[in-house]
Amino acid sequence: MDEAGVDCGSTGGLFTGFFEPISNGWKGVVTASSGTPASCALTYFEQTAILKDLKLVIDGSSFSETVAVSTCEPEEAEKRNTDMPCEEHERIEATKLP
């Protein structure tokens, strides 16, 4: 896993939304699966938006892998989440000017 986000491409935008309130901000998670149990493509996307003082920081990461599983369902992607290889990462920092 690439915690610094230096080996990942850009997530390409903020299309999935922020559904859950967290301390000083919001969080959004989307899971997906496709294929067959023998070749199941799993995806886990997580993003946060944290507002502190005049600074907004948005972090988004996408993790995915293709595996053999008993059932190819999004719940498997949720279970594996950030333990899968990082495919994309984006960090945006914005400061409100006076």
Evaluate whether residue 7 is within a structural domain.
no
Evaluate whether residue 75 is within a structural domain.
yes
57 and 91 in contact (C-beta within 8 Å)? Answer: yes
pLDDT tops 50 at residue 9? no
* Torsion angle (degrees, nearest 10) of CA 68, 72, 76, 82: 70
Q: Give CA–CA dist 9/17, Å, rounded.
A: 20
Evaluate whether residue 10 is within a structural domain.
no
Evaluate whether residue 13 is within a structural domain.
no
Structural domain that includes position 62: 20-95
Q: Which residue has the tokens 């003082």?
A: 53
pLDDT tops 70 at residue 8? no
Evaluate whether residue 9 is within a structural domain.
no
Rounded to 5°, angle at Cα 17 from 81 and 88: 45
Evaluate whether residue 4 is within a structural domain.
no
DSSP H stretches of helix in 1-98: 74-80
Question: What are 35-87's pLDDT values in tens digits?
Answer: 999 999 999 999 999 999 999 999 999 999 999 999 999 999 999 999 999 99
Task: Report the number of distinct structural domains present in the chain.
Answer: 1
